[in-house]
Amino acid sequence: MKRSDINKALKARLAQGGTGLSGTWPAIEPQSAMVRPYFEVLFPTQSRTGQFLSADVVEESGMLGVVIVVEFGTGEDAANDYADAVADIFYQTLILPITGGVITIEQPANIAPGYRDNANWRVPLTISYSARNT
């Protein structure tokens, strides 16, 4: 089970989830200016544990961070609806297979209050997961 396998599975689920949004991914510059609405993704890992004398990860707990970005002045409901759509595709108890393991969504997504960022309205949400070898 590799870190890249975890990221790829989470990104694929988000990209193919039918939210109607395009997005930006970590460490990849968008090809052009993003047209709102869109999402931004972060992968802040919380903890990893490994086997003794082995490079393979046994278990990882982490969060998928997604920020929904809409134009300020269009109302918060649209951004909240997009956040709900993302939360729906990462429902609690979801199990995603990956090479050498599985990812389990541990709890419902946490949708935080929106905030203004210049000409944008942003609604962050976090999805907690655990991944383990099989």
* Domain CATH number, residue 59: 3.30.2000.20
pLDDT tens digits, one per residue of 25-38: 766 666 566 788 98
- Whether 53 has a pLDDT exceeding 60, the answer reads no
Two tokens, residue 127: 């999805």
- Which pLDDT value is given to residue 127? 96
- Which pLDDT value is given to residue 60? 87
pLDDT tens digits, one per residue of 98-133: 999 999 999 999 999 999 999 999 999 999 999 998
* CB-based contact 13:23 (threshold 8 Å): no
pLDDT tens digits, one per residue of 76-103: 898 999 999 999 999 999 999 999 999 9
Instruction: Print the domain residue range for 113.
Output: 3-133
The label of the residue with tokens 């599985």 reads: 102
Q: Give the number of domains in the chain.
A: 1
Query: Which residues have CB under 8 Å from 132's CB, separation 6+?
Result: 1, 58, 59, 60, 101, 102, 104
